[in-house]
Amino acid sequence: MKKSERAIIVKKILDKKYPKTPVPLNHDDNFSLLIAVLLSAQCTDERVNQITPILFSKASSPKAMSKLTQNQIYKIIKPCGLGPQKSAAIKKLSSILVKNFMGEVPNNFKDLEKLPGVGHKTASVVMSQGFGIPAFAVDTHIHRLAQRWGLTNGKNVKKTEEDLKKIFPRSAWNKLHLQIIFWGREFCQARECYGLECEICRKCYPKRKKPFVHKKP
């Protein structure tokens, strides 16, 4: 089966299962989305959604956030993990947004990725879910599933993003990013499916008998 044929199978199943794709991180605007995505690194969406209301009740704008001390931010976001790094990044990026962008989140990759704590994946999520600009945010979970489904050669996250963008239409990128995440959580978990159990794995590789061995990103 060709990669393009597997891509058709994947998209058909995901569209049927997840016709609607609500953003899992609660937010009110692009600033709160940016902060939520930053906090989600090595943390569950559920935990982030518990913490962000507390944080934003103290400071809901870049100007207000920049006036908090790093320690004040840290005390609130500590349960999300990586507290020292994340609190420093949040305070610094808030100050930069006020100073250089009139308190607004920039709508381009170049400026977003220059912000402290904001890598390409975080920027991609903000661009796609915040601004509606086509982007394909690939994290380790999507990287793993793309390997299992034969959509990438699995060399690294960057290569996986390039491969997914080539085989799926640009208009589908934003929705597919979320659909793949939802499917992975529900049916194709890291330590359960192993490329053998879920409907997508079985249809993409009907003759696969042994657990799939992933290449680390």
Question: Is 139 an active-site residue?
Answer: yes
Catalytic option among 86, 91, 139, 163? 139
Catalytic option among 86, 121, 163, 175? 121
Buried b (16+ CB within 10 A) or exposed e, 165-197: eebbeeebbbbbbbbbbbbbeebbeeeebbbee
The Cα–Cα gap between 215 and 206 comes to 21
Question: Is 163 an active-site residue?
Answer: no
The Cα–Cα gap between 125 and 134 comes to 10
Closest-CA residue to 187 (of 176, 177, 178, 200): 200
* Residues annotated as part of the active site: 121, 139
